[in-house]
Structure 1
């Protein structure tokens, strides 16, 4: 059951719609209407676990969002406070900065990738 809000001639209605998908199957010249279950989106693969060595600093996503721009790559040297990437959340561009000075050991994200809160996006060592 899906819910919609529909406005007709300036009047808003809350509408519930039960989806039912049917398909016509033809076998040896005869046809039958067959109900088809709605497609279910496959779950997105879980982020691979990242091993953080002693002395390394993980840069974790502070909120769910989409990475719109990665500004550093593996091997780059960064200072504390340098901008590593831009994370878009709720239509706002958030600068994700380095929590420590060091070398970028891992960039676990790419442009256009969605992230969940607490997901390790980079490792600084």
Structure 2
């Protein structure tokens, strides 16, 4: 861990930075002298690896939705913070199926109809988009 003092908009912050598998570089290149007043533009080193974009694989498509099934969709983008029901269980209208965290608020996503919860198509920690299928209920 290395400690640095950073000033942002006149406010001084002390930060710790962990060095992770970086090529050996002389300290003169990585830590500027505290007496420098003007920052020189950084020149990329030929030995430094280029940043690679993070590519996420698309989730595998789920099975088809049975005819006549009720689909519970995400009303807003957010992150799944809890699963409150299990696939195969009988549920009633208004029962909480999943909890969706959006804008630091916990939103209960409830069953729209009575029936059997055929499947939950999300897991805790998944990020979902508006309209994404969360669960399928069969009558």
| TM-score between both structures, scaled by the size of structure 2 | 0.65
More strand by share: 1
Alignment: residue pair count: 103
Q: 1:44 to 1:20 in 2, by over 3 A?
A: farther
Structure 1 pair 37–62 and aligned structure 2 pair: CA distance change class (3 A)? same
Q: Which residue of 50, 54, 74 corresponds with 1:37?
A: 50
Higher alpha-carbon Rg: 2
- Picking from 78, 82, 103, the partner of 2:116 is 103
CA distance in 2, matches of 1:109, 1:102: 19
User: Are residues 1:120 and 2:133 paired?
Assistant: yes
Query: Could you tell me how far 1:94 is from its partner in structure 2?
Result: 0.3
RMSD value, Cα: 2.3
Structure 2 unmatched ranges of 5 or more: 1-7, 13-40
TM-score (ref. length: structure 1): 0.71
- Aligned pair in 2 of structure 1 residues 70, 19: CA closer, same or farther (>3 Å)? farther
